[in-house]
Amino acid sequence: MFIERYNANILTDFLFYLHMTLSESIRLQYLNTIGVTVWQSRFTSEFVVPQVEHIEPEPVILAEDSITDSWGKLHSDVIQCSLCSLCTTRTQTVFGEGDLNAKWLFVGEAPGQNEDEQGKPFVGDAGQLLTEILRAMQLTREEVFITNILKCRPPQNRDPHVDEIKHCLDFLHRQMTLIQPKIIIAVGRIAAQTLLNTHEKIGKLRGSIHYFENIPLIAIYHPAYLLRSLTEKRKVWHDLQFALKTFKSLENE
């Protein structure tokens, strides 16, 4: 009973948090789907969205003089990669961005259309939700590193093919070796299954501590899934709590 009320309070806080911070269109979509009618004052012509300070993440600076040779070499290897056919359909590669010494490494599946156009990971609707998820964890995009299993967009956002993953995984390994993260968050099914070399469902993989090359790894639902399946929101909130608890226990070791 107490636990249920406690969870309900957390959920309410989380919903309020989303309510206050998501973009108007996602927020309205979200509220509409869970059956909440947005109240609008008769005395103002427009519903005023609370302004939340939004800091654009700085792109990773990869100038030769400001970073180690390895980052420069890795970045240019990614940009020039033609190991699979995605190099013929991509607009540009999406290397990843954030703190090059981040404690948290977030790994998604592959760039989508927005990411392919902008050359940055998680910048579409799912990316916006990931940013909000980070904020709910009291993290910013600048202090974590965000990247994907694939550095190029698969056409029509199809699932990555095995040979594409095989070629691209080496880049992620090299990123991990340079970053030395304390914890890896596998964002979504494909990232989790790839890094854990399993076909287990994401529903089974979440909620446990796994390891990728001795680094603790937590699997969470993909924010795109959350946008499609808003009834799963409670599970996502639990995923975040679990990730934070795991990280804290690592800090205390």
Range 153-212, binding ligand URA (CB under 6 A): 188
For 55-58, the CB contacts below 8 A with 24+ separation are 55/140, 55/142, 57/97, 57/98, 57/120, 57/140, 57/141, 57/142, 58/97, 58/142
Query: Is 126 an interacting residue with respect to ligand URA (CB under 6 A)?
Result: yes
Among 107, 137, 111, 104, residue whose Cα is nearest residue 14: 137
How far apart CA 171 and CA 102 sit, in angstroms, is 17
148 binds ligand URA (CB under 6 A): yes
List the one residue from 71, 95, 104, 122 that touches ligand URA (CB under 6 A).
Answer: 122
Q: Pick from 114, 136, 156, 160: which is nearest to 220 by CA?
A: 136
Q: Which segments within the chain are labelled E, that is strand?
A: 97-98, 104-108, 145-148, 183-187, 210-212, 215-220
Stretch binding ligand URA (CB under 6 A), from 35-43, 84-92, 104-112, 166-174: 104-112
Among 98, 127, 160, 216, binds ligand URA (CB under 6 A): 127
DSSP state of 36: P
Interface stretch with ligand URA, choices 9-17, 21-29, 115-123, 175-183 (CB under 6 A)? 115-123
Pick from 213, 205, 212, 201: which is nearest to 242 by CA?
A: 205
Provide, rounded to whole angstroms, the least separation between the CB of residue 178 and ligand URA. Answer: 19
Residue placing its CB nearer to ligand URA in the complex, 68 or 157: 157
Which class for 218: exposed (0-12), middle (13-18), buried (19 or more C-beta within 10 A)? buried
Options 57, 112, 154, 160; binder of ligand URA; rule CB under 6 A? 112
Which of 75, 84, 106, 108 binds ligand URA (CB under 6 A)? It is: 108
User: Is residue 111 a contact point for ligand URA (CB under 6 A)?
Assistant: yes
| Of 121, 154, 160, 181, the one binding ligand URA by CB under 6 A | 121
127 vs 181, beta carbon nearer ligand URA = 127
Binding site for ligand URA (CB under 6 A): 108-112, 115, 121-122, 126-127, 148, 188
